[in-house]
Each structure stands twice: as C-alpha cells, then as structure tokens.
Amino acid sequence: MSFPIALPCNTLFESDADAIVVVTHDIQNLGSAQLDEVAAPFLAVDARIAQKASLLVSDKVPGKRLVIAPTGSLDRDYDDVRRYFEAAKAGILEAKAAGAVKPVLAVVNVPADDRYENARAVSFLGACQGLWQPLEAREYRGEAIEPIEAIYVFEASAQCCDQLSAIAAGQYAARDLCGTEPERMAPPRFADYCVELFQGSAVSVEVIADRKIMDEQYPLLSTVARASYAVERHHPRVVKMAYEPEGDVERTLIFVGKGLVYDTGGADLKVGGFMAGMSRDKGGAASVVGFMEAVAKYQPKGVKVIAYLAVVRNSIGSDCFVPDEIIESREGVRVRIGNTDAEGRLAMGDLLSEAKDLALGEKNPEIFTVATLTGHAARAMGPYSAYVENGPARAAQVSRKIADMGDLWADCAEVSRSRREDYDFVKPRTLADDVLSSNNAPSAVTARGHQFPMAFLAIVGGLDKHGCNAELPIPYVHMDIAGSGVEGGDWQHGKPTAATVASLFARYCI
C-alpha cells in the first residue's frame, strides 16, 4: 500500500521538488516575491486563475510548474476550513495532471481566525483525498496511477508531518476498505486486508471465522449472515484489533464497526435501483480500521484503543432471515425482527455487548459504534456525520468535543440527542420479545430515523444499564456516517471520505 507522505520543508524552492502548489485566498500574494513576479503576467490576462486551480509554466520554479489554488471567500459566517481542503484537492490534481511527482504544498496568507488554525494540515489531507485511486484500479493498472508518493509541506514541523502521514495512512486504508467492490472485499478478504495491514505493527489482530463461535457468541450477526453461509467466500468474519500504548493508560476507546460488505436488504430486498452502491455499507468498519492504522503509525501515549468489526454480507436466499423472527442476543435480549434491511444494528449488537463487558474493566472507557446506518442521517444531516450519544457521553461532552475538532479538521459532524421517544419506538409489542429492531418503512421517512437505532443498540448492547444513574456510567456514542461516508452522497461512484478518522485522531492522539 502506497500513499503520499508529508515531508517538512522550509523553502518554496525545494531542490528535490518538481512543482509548487500554492493554496491561498489572495492570489495577488503568493507568499514569495519571486512567485508573485512569476504569476503577475498570467494574472493580468487570465481571470480564471481567481476562480479555479490553474497551472502556470515558468522556468523560475521547480519543475517549471506553479499551481495556484484559490480558496475563495473565508470571512463569511458559514465559511470553514473545508475551503482549504477543496482548494488543495483541486490544486494537487492539476499538479499530477501536469506530471509532477514530488510537489511542494504551500498554504499562505492564512487568516488569523481559529477556524483556520489547521489550514496547512487540512490542505495536505485534501490533496491526499484527491490523489487516492481505488484498490481494484491499482491492482489492475499498477501503482503508477498514483504517481505522487510524497508532498513537501511548506513551513510544517517534522512532528506535524508525522501526524499528517499517520492520518493519511489511516484514511487511505479506510478508503480502500470502503470503496472496494463486494467480491474483492468479501468478508474473508476484508479480514485478510486487516491482517496484512497491521502485520508487524503496534496493533494486534484476531480473526474469528468459525460458524459455531458465531452462532454461540454473536447470534444476531450470525442471523444476518445466515443466507451467506451458502457461499463459502461470503462467510462472515469478526475482526478484533487492539493497541496498547507504552506507559500508563489514561483513557480506553472501544469501537464497534459495521462491515456490511454488501447489503441486498435481505428478504426486504432493495429494489428500484437502491441496491447499487451497497458495497460501501462497510464504511463504518472501514473508518474504524483507518483510525487504528493512524494510531499504529503514530503510537500515541496514554490512549488504549480496541476495535471489533462485524464483517458480513446480507444476502438473499432460501435461508435468509425474515421479519417477525425473534432472535435471542448475546445479552439475553429477545429481538423481534422488524425489517431485514435494518441489518447493521443487528450485526453490531452482540459485539457492542462484548465491548460493554470489556469496558467494565478498562480505564476511563468510551464506546463508539461507527456505521453507514440510516438514510435518515443523510437526509437530515446532509454531508455531515451524525453523532447520537447517551447520557454519560452527553454529560462528558464526548460528541461535542469530537465534532468541534472535526470543524477544525474538515471532518464535520452534527450532534443529536437520544430521547425517550427513541426507546418507546423500539419497545416490545408483546410478551414474546424485549425489543423491536426497526419499523418497516425507510428510515429517511421515519421520524427520528437516525436516533432511534441508537436506543436499540444501547438495549441489545446492555448499555441502557450504564446510564448516568448507574453505579458505573459508560459514555457511548453512535456515529452514523451514512451522509458523510462518500463524496457528494453518491454511494455508487463517489470516493470514500474516511469520515471520523481525522477528527478522532485529532481529539485523542494529538
């Protein structure tokens, strides 16, 4: 796996570079009198340079390539650091198209505004987002389709570059896992990718493949996988990862990721073209792996990280599960199936129960589920992640702190509350069961469609017994990235964004 690493440099005219990409809101001031002189005759005749990333050719710059990438306005109330992310993305693609392989990225004239304190770092990550190509494309066409292996980051410290390279590595892995087609990244191959990724690293990996163990320990996940057992290459996997820092542990983060490598909807089959893009329904697990990879690269002190991934295919077939079935979970909760297309919460539920049990013995635990869970999150929040938190998480402002960090790292989110209506929505209708998994309407047209699934997860995970009034409260945040997981909300063709990786890393590792 190759991805652009960040290299520090203190000069725009780095001898080993072959292009300069300047990201700025003021194209008349490029951070250097020499660059201003180079640009002046072009600016005098081409108004487009103020509107879009443009390549200027000059013997006076490395590689004869100068790219000006304008951010546009930065001073309005609704402007944010994504202006830099998008400008750098456009600029690096111009440099790549011109043949550059080792450009300098210069972010200049940054306003003295807290919103833009990470403009340089965010610009590098935007460039990496633009450069990534799908795993299948690299395997088919060769690594040459990603020619840029390093980016000099002007006026960045070595420590900053180490942090950026770690985040970039994590986001790269998350995009690979989320964006790869369902056979290339079927559950066993998803697990293989994880094993290979962390081989020799600070992160340990365990893979569970035995069906007997699945049936006994993870009955909800095994129910989702039932129809997939007819095809060996589609058999489910549980992937467990752990990072133990050197020295004392101050905080423990425990993640459960939804890894639906393909979601047909099961018996509640997705029709009318809505199945296309469902190979990206593993985006939650992919982002968890991405965060673990960033942690493995940077090895932060004080924070222990554990992750459980439910990697499964929701197939249609003679043995598929159906609505009205009642399944007893690991926690001993009897779950009535309301809709087989609400499978992600089932796949994660037993792993969440195990995560809760583990948290009881950990230092300052915080639990997260990360999933491309509901169309409602995308409808309600647009391109933003939706964080739904329990009482202890709200009291500790867990989501707020991550979301505030995301605003500074172009990894934005909205915070939602869990309320009594959410628990009422999934309450049992008979004495035969304890909880209803979902209603039978699309989440996008269901009131509180991205909030009530968190209540279900809290119940089947046993976290409803660890609220603010419990002897041991456990902060729990459900992160729904259905709206933020791919560019433009295009689940079939949009590039994966690796949502949550940057904000989690910035919040807990820097």
- CA dist., res. 189 & res. 183, Å (int): 8
- CA dist., res. 353 & res. 495, Å (int): 32
Just list the catalytic residues.
270, 345
User: Tokens for 89?
Assistant: 């993305």
- CA dist., res. 429 & res. 425, Å (int): 10
CA angle 253, 256, 262 (to 5 degrees): 150
Q: What do you get for the CA distance between the two ends of the chain, in Å?
A: 24
Comparing C-alpha atoms, which of 260, 265, 273, 275 is closest to residue 178?
260
Distances (CA, A) of 295 to 161, 163, 359, 431: 15, 10, 20, 46
Comparing C-alpha atoms, which of 484, 427, 422, 417 is closest to residue 447?
422
- CA dist., res. 300 & res. 157, Å (int): 17
The torsion defined by the Cα of 261, 508, 84 and 103, in degrees rounded to 10, comes to: -80
How big, in percent rounded to 5, are the helix, strand and coil portions of the chain? Answer: 40, 20, 40
The torsion defined by the Cα of 466, 468, 474 and 477, in degrees rounded to 10, comes to: 110
* DSSP secondary structure letters along 17-37: -S-EEEEES-TT--SSHHHHH
Q: Compute φ and ψ for 369, nearest 5 degrees.
A: -105, 135
- CA dist., res. 357 & res. 318, Å (int): 35
The residues with which 317 forms a beta bridge, in sequence order, are none
- CA dist., res. 263 & res. 142, Å (int): 29
Q: Where are the beta strands (DSSP E) in 29-175?
A: 54-57, 65-70, 104-107, 150-154
- CA dist., res. 89 & res. 471, Å (int): 49
- CA dist., res. 70 & res. 66, Å (int): 13
Q: Could you say which DSSP state residue 477 is in? A: E
